[in-house]
Every structure is written in structure tokens, then in C-alpha cells.
């Protein structure tokens, strides 16, 4: 079996983390399947990689639909960003719960006494996103005989230069869909070309729509090619005037539009960035979480599923057993968790890398009259080292890192704070289990260049075994709660509570 071969009648056994399907080839090798696998479906596959121990393949043809597959309403659009739509929501939750259990397999012994909670579902399984990023582009393919100069929707997964038209995004709310469709009409009628990432030529690049769930306020962020000269294509007046007219009409039609920006993007990178110009309304919109209000700027981090975020923060608050003196909110974003928990502690340290997020945090604390949170704009690994060297102590630590998990050099310092409990909020079961294994002294194989960190833990684990005497405290996994923030996608969140023993 080699690359490009078609293999027939393969039964998809299950879905693995990352959303790929898993099956077994006739020679016993496992096959990792992309392209919308659904368990129990029978498919023909085209091999994309043939490795010694496994194959990678794409679905070529569906031979027999999975009995799990349900029909989706005709007006809903199935695209890469919601590829689990044909799987019933309860089944999605079952699959995610199973994936978390499997991820913790290597810590079987350590989780024997652990309290496993049932997965917490998202309050809404559709229309839950408060932020949607659309892209403009083209669809040109000689092989398919396709030359379409105007596309507005979402990137085809894994293809940076291909856009799939969107007509209805089921994850966005109704108003976002209506506004998006109106903007589509304006952009098409403008005669300005869509951006081509291969040549750097063209005007329209991205539209981000942010909609505050509780207040209803909407923010529009247009990202356009800052190097494009609109006069050349015959637009009368300046680029700003064109936008001002469009925005005036939109804001008269949709009263919810509270803020509109455009970003002049000078870079070829496919990211929403650039010189920020406020075209209309207020500089920020506000939303509410568990009774507190938060300001959102164009680039602010804010959990994209607001109602689910309240469940997450509620779960974090409920899992904390020692609410008293010092809380460390590490990887804090705009400080939401620390601000919500401030009333339970004498002092909260909120540590975040991105300076604009820390600044938002200061404003959010002020806005809610919270005075005991100190915002520290630093890398967690640097803060941890410094705080440890000053013999800082904490009762509770919240860890909410990005997908890559904790920086290995931070772990021994975090442990040295001697917190009674650590709450780890994770969006990646693989790095979660890796980090916890290290924290429990079970696995020294962390991929790191920081040998000191690994050695320090390894030495400690060795000492513990030899002398049952500790300098770094030991922890046990007290409870695990899987949570579903992103229905119809493969993403999973998990909240794990570690307790000092």
C-alpha cells in the first residue's frame, strides 16, 4: 500500500482527538483518516502517506453512510469549521468524553481515586459563537476548470489560498448571518477585487463580526489590503468615504451595530492585523459574565461561547476548596477568571503575556470595582521564577495555557509555590496529560530544551522514591471535568483539579 493507492471498504472504527477517523488496514497498520470521518461509516480511501507503522488517508468515496449520520436542515451549511454537524450532539459528547478517558490512560493508576464528572454540555449547540471570522478570496483551479474571482466565507481546511463561499453559518447567530450577507452585497457591488495571497494584490481580506451575547452589541472589523490604491479602480472619493457610506446604511438598518473598525493590513500573512481606524460608534462593546461586565476591543481575547464560559467559570469557582488568601491566575487573558474570583481571595495575581490583554484586565477590574487584582504583563515562566525566588506562596493556582500547554521551565517553580490546589483548564488533552504527568513526577520525557527544569523534577521524583521526603510538594488528581465549548467541532476542554497531598 503506497501513496495515492485507493483502498476499499474500510470501516471507520472511531474518531480520535483532532477529529480524524481511525481504521485498520488489511496488513494491520492503523489508518488515520481525514475528510469528515464518522464512526461506523464504510469508505474507500486514498492513501496520502504510507509510514512503517501507520497510514494516512483521505476519504475518496462513501460506500455506506454511518448509521449515526443524521440529515442536517437544508439551510444549514456543512463546512470545515463545523464538520461534526451530521453527528447527533449527544453522540458528539460521548465521543469527546471517551477521548478524554483515553488521553488519561497513561495515568490510569493516578486516576483510580479521581472523581470523574460527566461532560458539561454547551447551553446552545448552535448559534453559540460571539465571534466569527470570514475571509474574502478567490477559487482558482486549473485541474477543476474553476476560475472564481470572488469568494466570501471560510478557508477550505488546510488550504490557505482557497475560500469556500458561506451562505449560512450555523455557529453564528441570525443577526451575524444577516449582516454578513448584506456586507457581501456591498463588497460584490464595490468592484474592488478580493485579495490574492499568492500575489499580494487585491483589496478585501477579512471581516470579523463580534456580537456580545448578553448586551446584543455588535462590532464589525474589516481587514483590507493597506497597500491597495482604491482610486486606481475608479471608486469615487476616498476609501474612508466608501466605508463611511456603507457603514451608515448598515448601522441605520441594524441598531445593534455599536462599533465598526477597519484595519489596513500591510502584511502578506493571513492574519487580521494592521493599523486600526475606528469608523463608527464606540471604541469597545461590552458583555457580561456571571453578573460582571467586560469591555471588548477588536483584538481582545474573550471566550467565544459566552454561555459556556459562564459554565466554565462556575465550574472553576466550584472546584476551588481553599478560597482565602492568594490566588494566581496564570495565562490570564483579560483577567476574567481572576476578576470573577477576586471576592473570595485577599490578593489575586493575574499573569498574561499579551500587554493589550493585561491592559484590558486593568480596565475590567476597575469597571467592576475590583481592587485586589494585580495585573502582571509577563511570561508565566519568568513570573514563576521571580515569584519563587521571592519565596511567594499561593493557596490556589489557575492554569489556563494555550494549546501547547505549560512551558516546562515554569513547572518546578509553580510546584514550589506550595499551593493547596491547582486548577488546570485545558483545550488540549495531549499537553494536559503531558504536563500533569510531569507535575506528578511520572514522566520525565517532556520535550524541552530546559534541562534544568526536567532534571529538577526528575531529581525530586527520585528523591521522593528513595527517601519519601519532599522539597517539592506532591499532588494527586482529585477531579476531572470534560467540557464542550465548541459543539460540532472536535475541540474539547477539560478542567482538572490537583490537590496537594
Ligand X SMILES: C[S@@+](CC[C@H](N)C(=O)[O-])C[C@H]1O[C@@H](n2cnc3c(N)ncnc32)[C@H](O)[C@@H]1O
| Minimum CB distance to ligand X smaller for 125 or for 409 | 409
Q: How far is the CB of 104 from ligand X (least distance, A)?
A: 20
Beta carbons of 355 and 377 less than 8 angstroms apart:
yes
Q: How far is the CB of 410 from ligand X (least distance, A)?
A: 8
Sketch the per residue contact string, 116 through 145, with ligand X: x for CB under 6 A, - otherwise.
Answer: ------------------------------
Sketch the per residue contact string, 262 through 301, with ligand X: x for CB under 6 A, - otherwise.
Answer: ---------------------------------------x
The three cell numbers of residue 186 are 456591498
Helices (runs of H) and strands (runs of E) counted in the chain: 10, 23
Q: How far is the CB of 94 from ligand X (least distance, A)?
A: 25
Label the pairing between strands 475-483 and 115-116: parallel
Q: How far is the CB of 18 from ligand X (least distance, A)?
A: 18
Compute the distance between CA of residue 292 and CA of residue 271 in angstroms, rounded to an integer: 31
The three cell numbers of residue 297 are 476591543
| Minimum CB distance to ligand X smaller for 310 or for 400 | 400
C-alpha distances (whole Å) from 71 to each of 66, 68, 295, 489 are 11, 10, 39, 17
Give which of 141, 138, 159 is closest to 149, Cα–Cα: 138
Instruction: Tell me the site size for ligand X, rule CB under 6 A.
Output: 20
Sketch the per residue contact string, 48 through 77, with ligand X: x for CB under 6 A, - otherwise.
Answer: ------------------------------
| Minimum CB distance to ligand X smaller for 111 or for 428 | 428
Q: How far is the CB of 402 from ligand X (least distance, A)?
A: 5
Q: How far is the CB of 303 from ligand X (least distance, A)?
A: 6
C-alpha distances (whole Å) from 97 to each of 17, 287, 289 are 11, 30, 26
Compute the distance between CA of residue 495 and CA of residue 429 in angstroms, rounded to an integer: 10
| Minimum CB distance to ligand X smaller for 300 or for 478 | 300
Contacting ligand X (CB under 6 A), which of 1, 354, 440, 444? 354
- Restricting to residues 359-418, which ones interact with ligand X according to CB under 6 A? 379-381, 400-402, 407
- Restricting to residues 295-334, which ones interact with ligand X according to CB under 6 A? 301, 303, 331-334
| Upper half-sphere CA count for residue 455 (Cβ side, 13 Å) | 4
* Piece of the chain touching ligand X by CB under 6 A; list 84-92, 239-247, 352-360, 432-440: 352-360
Q: How far is the CB of 45 from ligand X (least distance, A)?
A: 35
- Directed axis angle between helix 239-253 and helix 174-189, to 10°? 140
Q: How far is the CB of 205 from ligand X (least distance, A)?
A: 23
Largest CA distance in the chain: 81
| Minimum CB distance to ligand X smaller for 77 or for 428 | 428
Round the CA-based radius of gyration of the chain to a whole number and report it.
25
**357 binding ligand X? (CB under 6 A):** yes
- Restricting to residues 24-43, which ones interact with ligand X according to CB under 6 A? none
Compute the distance between CA of residue 415 and CA of residue 460 in angstroms, rounded to an integer: 11
Q: Return the DSSP state at 73.
A: P
Beta carbons of 160 and 139 less than 8 angstroms apart:
no
Q: How far is the CB of 404 from ligand X (least distance, A)?
A: 8
| Minimum CB distance to ligand X smaller for 183 or for 348 | 348
Query: Residue with the closest Cβ to ligand X?
Result: 333
* Piece of the chain touching ligand X by CB under 6 A; list 10-18, 41-49, 350-358, 413-421: 350-358
Q: How far is the CB of 289 from ligand X (least distance, A)?
A: 9
C-alpha distances (whole Å) from 286 to each of 164, 297, 369 are 31, 9, 16
| Minimum CB distance to ligand X smaller for 164 or for 310 | 310
Q: How far is the CB of 484 from ligand X (least distance, A)?
A: 16
Compute the distance between CA of residue 54 and CA of residue 32 in angstroms, rounded to an integer: 8
**342 binding ligand X? (CB under 6 A):** no
DSSP secondary structure letters along 263-320? EEE-SSSSSS-SEEEEEEE-S-EEEEETTEEEEE-TT----S-HHHHHHHHHHHHHH-
Q: How far is the CB of 335 from ligand X (least distance, A)?
A: 8
| Minimum CB distance to ligand X smaller for 123 or for 237 | 123
| Minimum CB distance to ligand X smaller for 250 or for 340 | 340
Order of strands, sheet of 163-165, starting from the edge strand that comes earlier in the sequence: 163-165, 146-155, 131-141, 204-211, 218-225, 257-265, 275-281
| Minimum CB distance to ligand X smaller for 192 or for 406 | 406
| Minimum CB distance to ligand X smaller for 89 or for 344 | 344
Q: How far is the CB of 118 from ligand X (least distance, A)?
A: 22
Phi, psi of 403 (to 5 degrees): -55, -30
Q: Whose grid coordinates read 477517523?
A: 21
Contacting ligand X (CB under 6 A), which of 25, 78, 353, 444? 353
* Piece of the chain touching ligand X by CB under 6 A; list 121-129, 168-176, 263-271, 351-359: 351-359
Compute the distance between CA of residue 203 and CA of residue 187 in angstroms, rounded to an integer: 10
Residues that bind ligand X (CB under 6 A): 301, 303, 331-334, 336-337, 351-354, 357, 379-381, 400-402, 407
Amino acid at each position: 500500500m503506497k501513496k495515492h493507492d485507493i483502498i476499499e471498504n474500510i470501516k471507520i472504527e472511531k474518531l480520535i482527538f483532532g477529529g480524524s477517523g481511525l481504521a485498520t488496514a488489511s496488513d494491520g497498520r492503523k489508518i488515520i483518516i481525514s475528510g469528515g470521518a464518522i464512526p461506523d461509516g464504510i469508505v474507500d480511501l486514498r492513501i496520502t502517506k504510507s509510514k512503517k507503522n501507520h497510514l494516512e488517508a483521505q476519504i475518496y468515496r462513501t460506500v455506506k453512510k454511518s448509521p449515526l449520520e443524521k440529515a442536517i436542515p437544508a439551510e444549514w451549511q456543512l463546512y470545515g469549521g463545523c464538520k461534526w454537524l451530521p453527528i447527533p450532539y449527544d453522540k458528539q459528547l460521548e465521543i469527546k468524553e471517551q477521548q478524554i478517558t483515553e488521553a488519561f490512560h497513561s495515568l490510569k493508576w493516578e486516576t483510580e481515586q479521581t472523581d470523574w464528572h460527566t461532560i458539561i454540555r454547551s447551553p446552545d449547540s448552535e448559534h453559540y459563537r460571539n465571534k466569527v471570522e470570514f475571509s474574502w478570496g478567490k477559487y482558482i483551479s486549473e485541474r477543476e476548470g474553476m476560475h472564481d474571482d470572488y469568494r466570501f466565507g471560510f478557508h477550505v481546511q488546510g488550504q490557505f489560498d482557497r475560500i469556500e463561499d458561506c451562505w449560512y453559518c450555523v455557529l453564528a447567530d441570525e443577526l451575524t448571518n444577516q449582516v454578513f450577507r448584506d456586507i457581501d452585497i456591498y463588497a460584490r457591488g464595490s468592484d474592488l477585487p478580493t485579495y490574492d495571497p499568492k500575489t499580494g494584490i487585491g483589496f478585501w481580506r477579512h471581516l470579523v463580526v463580534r456580537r456580545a451575547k448578553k448586551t446584543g452589541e455588535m462590532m464589525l472589523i474589516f481587514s483590507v489590503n493597506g497597500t491597495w490604491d482604491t482610486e486606481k479602480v475608479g471608486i469615487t472619493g476616498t476609501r474612508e468615504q466608501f466605508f463611511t457610506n456603507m457603514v451608515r446604511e448598515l448601522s441605520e438598518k441594524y441598531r445593534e451595530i455599536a462599533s465598526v473598525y477597519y484595519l489596513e493590513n500591510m502584511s502578506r500573512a493571513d492574519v487580521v492585523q494592521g493599523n486600526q481606524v475606528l469608523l463608527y460608534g464606540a471604541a469597545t462593546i461590552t458583555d457580561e459574565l456571571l453578573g460582571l461586565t467586560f469591555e471588548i476591543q477588536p483584538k481582545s481575547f474573550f471566550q467565544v461561547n459566552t454561555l459556556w464560559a459562564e459554565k466554565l467559570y462556575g465550574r472553576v469557582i466550584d472546584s476551588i476548596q481553599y478560597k482565602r488568601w492568594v490566588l494566581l491566575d496564570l495565562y490570564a487573558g483579560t483577567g476574567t477568571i481572576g476578576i470573577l474570583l477576586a471576592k473570595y481571595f485577599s490578593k489575586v495575581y493575574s499573569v498574561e503575556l499579551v500587554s493589550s490583554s493585561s491592559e484590558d484586565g486593568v480596565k475590567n477590574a476597575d469597571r467592576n470595582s475590583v481592587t485586589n487584582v494585580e495585573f502582571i504583563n509577563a511570561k508565566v515562566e519568568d513570573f514563576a521564577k521571580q515569584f519563587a525566588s521571592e519565596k511567594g506562596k499561593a493557596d490556589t493556582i489557575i492554569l489556563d495555557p494555550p494549546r501547547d500547554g505549560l512551558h516546562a521551565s515554569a513547572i518546578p517553580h509553580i510546584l514550589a509555590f506550595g499551593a493547596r490546589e491547582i486548577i488546570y483548564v485545558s483545550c488540549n488533552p495531549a499537553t494536559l496529560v503531558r504536563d500533569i504527568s510531569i507535575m506528578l513526577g511520572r514522566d520525565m520525557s517532556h520535550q524541552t530544551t530546559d534541562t534544568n527544569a526536567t532534571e529538577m523534577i526528575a531529581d525530586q521524583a527520585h528523591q521522593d522514591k528513595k527517601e519519601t521526603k519532599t522539597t517539592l510538594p506532591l499532588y494527586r488528581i482529585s477531579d476531572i471535568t470534560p467540557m464542550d465549548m465548541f459543539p460540532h467541532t472536535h475541540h474539547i476542554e477539560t478542567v482538572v483539579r490537583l490537590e496537594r497531598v
